[in-house]
Amino acid sequence: MVNLVDSPLPHQMAAGDQNIEEDLFPEHVTKLSKSQAVTVRAAKKLEQQVVQIEMEFFAKIHALEAQYQHRFKDLSDKRAQLINGTLSVNEAEVSDVPIIYNLHEKAAEQIFQGLKDDDSVKGVPDFWLNVLQSCEATAVLIEESDVEILKHLKNVDSELIAEPMGAILRFHFGPNEYFENTVLEQKVIYKLGPTDIFMFEGPNASSVENTPIVWKAGKNPRDGGKKNQHSFFSIFDEKKEEDDMEDICELMSIFREHIIPHATLYFTGELRDEDIDFSDSGSEGSSGGDDSENEVMEE
């Protein structure tokens, strides 16, 4: 029997592509009676209605998230103040929170002994660069030429748009020698539609709007005849192909559901990609990293 998971369904194939000699269906289907086949078709028709309910459910969840987003943003803004050194904190205020959870005593001592007693630098330099490099989904986008630029990334946040349904991803940069922008935005407007008539796997992008990057002279990592060279900042290129739109939808979901709410866990290495099923990104909810096993390399 052919693997139906990896093969197109008959209704997805052009008439000329279907070869009756190929095993497009399990053998037990051919053993049904005519009335049993009608019953299966009736059950399938019910499952088509499931897709409609799933789309309605997603729209409701999106609207509910939009109502709560100001509470998440308050915490995200305060975290940004801490990371960028504009809000101070003393050790007594975080006495119940270790730098890394569930470390055995020797590993914890190793980290503690490595900490420097230096208050000359405020905040946590290169925080977001380290976060993005610690998440495989974003690390693969970062080239060596992007690293120095991303050291100027001060915060990443997002905003849901209730109507039309969509989301905005914002990258906040400090003054730098590479481009004039202080904020780079990516705005995605969603359309709800089934992946095929029997499946809904999340929203599709109907449009993507990106902030044009105003590069300073000679600072674009893809200058010098390298326009096709890969770069993290390629995500801000104009998107026309359907595959590009799907990738942007997935990346938006990864940022919104995983990276932004749990950035410190990526920074400390407590949350790793194997702890997360990114295939669920784009649906409601987010994943934490409380159950990840953490190891520190020992000499």
CA atoms within 13 A on the CB side of 211: 17
| 170 part of a folded domain | yes
Beta-strand ranges (E) seen in 16-165 are 153-161
Sign of the C-alpha dihedral computed for residues 128, 131, 137 and 138 taken in this order: positive
Q: Flag whether pLDDT at 15 surpasses 80.
A: no
Residues 110-119: contacts with CB under 8 Å, at least 24 apart: 110/296, 110/298, 111/296
| 68 part of a folded domain | yes
End-to-end CA distance of the chain: 53
Cβ proximity of 163 and 190 under 8 Å: no
Check which CATH number belongs to the domain holding 123 and give it: 3.30.1120.90
User: Which helix or strand (DSSP H or E) is residue 91 part of?
Assistant: none
pLDDT category of residue 212 using cuts at 50, 70 and 90: very high
Domain around 56 = 46-280
| 228 part of a folded domain | yes
Beta-strand ranges (E) seen in the chain are 153-161, 166-173, 183-191, 204-210
> Could you give the number of structural domains in the chain?
1
| 32 part of a folded domain | no
Q: Flag whether pLDDT at 200 surpasses 60.
A: yes
Of residues 273 and 173, more confidence is placed in 173
User: pLDDT digits over 92-143, tens only?
Assistant: 999 999 888 888 877 877 887 788 888 888 999 999 999 999 999 999 999 9
Q: Which of 12-21, 25-34, 56-65, 115-124 has the lowest mean pLDDT?
A: 12-21
pLDDT at residue number 228: 60
| 37 part of a folded domain | no
| 287 part of a folded domain | no
